[in-house]
C-alpha cells in the first residue's frame, strides 16, 4: 500500500494543480505503485489535474484506490478502478464530539443582548489560500469585532502571497492570535485535544452572532472535498454559521445534509461583502434578534444531520460516486 500525501506539495507558492516537477513526482510514484498492484491511498487533497494525470497513465489497469472523500461527480474515472472513500480522522472527530453532547448546552435560542462579537473563526494549519482570505478580511476590518485565531506569521509565506484584486489587499501587520485571547502559542496537540479546546470554543461561541467556518483552500476550484472538523463545532453548539471553503466542500456538506445559515459565496470578495452585510444586521438589536430567531429550524436540521453523519460517512465509504 502506498500513501500519497498531497499536503507535502500543495503548500508552495505555485497554485495547487500546477503540475510542477514536485507535484508530478508524487503522482508518478502513485502511478508506479498502482501498476505494481499496490493499493494507492490519496491522503488529504487531490487536484483535478493530479487525478486526470493519474487516471490517464493507469487506464485499463485494475486496482484499488482509497480516498479521504469522494471524487467530484464530473471527474473522469476509468471503470477498471475500484475506489473507496473514507476520512478516518473526521469520522473519529464526529464520534468523539457526539459523545460529549451532554456536556454543552445547545444554543438554538439565543438573545442578542448577550452577544458582543460579530464572528468566531478558527484558522488551523497555515496554508496559502486560507492566509489570503484571512488577510483580506483583516485588511478590510471585517474581523475588527470578532474572535478569531491565526498562526504565527511565516516570512516566506508572506513573500509569496498572491493577493491581487485590482491592487493587493494584504495585511502587513498580521500577528498570532488564538481563541483564548492569550499571547501563548498553543501547540498542535492542544488544538486537537477536544477535552480542552472544545470548552474554549464553547465559551467563545456564547459571545458571537455567527460562526465562520474557514475550510482548507477556500474558493479553490477543482480539488477533492476533504472536510476538516471545523464545520462540526457551530453545528454541535447550535450557532449560526457561514462557510468559506472550496465549492467541492460545500457540495459534500450538502450531500451529508448540512446547509450554512447564509448563502455560500464562491470568491473572497463576495464572502467579505457577505460578512459586512451581516455585521450591519448585527449592529441593529431588532434586526439581529430577528436574524437569530429565524435560524432555529435550520440549526435543528443541521444538528440532526450531524447525529446521522457517522452512518452517512460509512454509507459513502463504499459508494463514493
Domains of the chain in sequence order: 2-86 (no CATH), 91-310 (3.40.50)
**pLDDT confidence band for 223 (50 / 70 / 90):** very high
pLDDT for 22: 85
Per-residue model confidence as pLDDT tens digits over 265-288 = 999 999 999 999 999 999 999 999
N residues, the chain: 321
d(CA 98, CA 250): 22
- The answer for 306, left when phi > 0, alpha when psi is -120 to 50, beta otherwise, is alpha
pLDDT for 163: 59
**pLDDT confidence band for 181 (50 / 70 / 90):** confident
More confident residue, 299 or 5: 299
C-alpha cell recorded at residue 79: 471503470
Judge residue 285's burial from the number of C-beta atoms within 10 Å of its C-beta, 0-12 exposed, 13-18 middle, 19 or more buried: exposed
Q: Which whole number is the average pLDDT over 183-198?
A: 75
List the beta bridge partners of residue 53: none
Task: Report which of 260, 319, 268 is spatially closest to residue 295, judged by C-alpha positions.
Answer: 260
Judge residue 217's burial from the number of C-beta atoms within 10 Å of its C-beta, 0-12 exposed, 13-18 middle, 19 or more buried: buried
**pLDDT confidence band for 63 (50 / 70 / 90):** very high
Return all residues near 234 (Cβ < 8 A) that are at least 6 apart.
120, 205, 211, 213, 240, 241
More confident residue, 160 or 280: 280
User: Which DSSP symbol is given to 104?
Assistant: S
- SS3 assignment, position 120: strand
C-alpha cell recorded at residue 168: 493587493
pLDDT for 114: 96
User: Which DSSP symbol is given to 149?
Assistant: -
pTM of the complete model? 0.89
pLDDT for 43: 83
Q: Which whole number is the average pLDDT over 131-159?
A: 90
**Quick check: 147 pLDDT over 50?**
yes
Q: How far apart are the first and last CA of the chain?
A: 22
Amino acid at each position: 500500500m502506498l500513501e500519497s500525501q498531497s499536503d507535502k506539495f500543495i503548500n508552495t507558492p505555485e497554485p495547487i494543480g500546477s503540475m510542477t516537477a514536485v507535484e508530478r513526482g508524487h503522482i508518478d510514484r502513485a502511478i508506479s505503485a498502482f501498476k505494481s498492484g499496490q493499493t494507492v491511498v490519496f491522503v488529504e487533497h487531490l487536484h483535478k489535474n493530479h487525478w486526470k494525470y493519474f487516471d490517464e497513465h493507469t487506464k485499463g489497469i485494475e486496482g484499488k484506490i482509497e480516498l479521504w472523500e469522494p471524487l467530484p461527480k464530473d471527474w473522469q474515472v476509468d471503470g477498471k478502478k475500484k475506489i473507496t472513500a473514507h476520512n478516518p480522522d473526521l469520522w473519529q472527530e464526529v464520534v468523539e464530539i457526539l459523545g460529549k453532547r451532554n456536556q454543552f448546552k445547545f444554543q438554538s435560542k439565543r438573545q442578542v443582548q448577550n452577544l458582543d462579537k460579530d464572528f468566531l473563526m478558527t484558522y488551523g494549519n497555515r496554508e496559502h489560500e486560507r492566509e489570503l482570505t484571512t488577510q483580506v478580511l483583516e485588511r478590510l476590518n471585517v474581523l475588527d469585532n470578532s474572535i478569531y485565531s491565526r498562526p504565527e506569521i511565516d516570512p516566506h509565506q508572506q513573500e509569496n502571497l498572491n493577493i491581487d484584486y485590482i491592487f493587493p489587499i494584504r495585511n502587513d501587520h498580521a500577528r498570532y492570535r488564538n481563541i483564548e485571547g492569550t499571547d501563548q502559542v498553543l501547540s498542535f496537540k492542544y488544538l486537537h485535544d477536544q477535552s480542552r479546546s472544545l470548552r474554549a470554543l464553547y465559551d467563545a461561541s456564547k459571545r458571537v452572532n455567527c460562526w465562520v467556518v474557514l475550510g482548507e483552500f477556500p474558493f479553490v476550484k477543482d480539488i477533492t472535498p476533504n472536510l476538516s472538523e471545523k464545520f462540526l463545532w457551530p453545528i454541535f453548539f447550535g450557532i449560526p454559521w457561514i462557510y468559506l471553503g472550496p465549492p467541492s466542500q460545500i457540495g459534500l456538506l450538502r450531500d451529508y445534509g448540512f446547509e450554512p445559515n447564509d448563502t455560500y459565496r464562491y470568491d473572497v470578495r463576495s464572502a467579505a461583502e457577505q460578512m459586512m452585510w451581516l455585521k450591519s444586521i448585527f449592529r441593529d438589536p431588532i434586526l439581529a434578534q430577528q436574524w437569530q430567531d429565524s435560524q432555529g429550524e435550520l440549526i435543528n436540521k443541521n444538528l440532526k444531520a450531524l447525529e446521522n453523519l457517522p452512518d452517512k460517512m460509512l454509507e459513502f465509504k463504499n459508494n463514493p460516486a
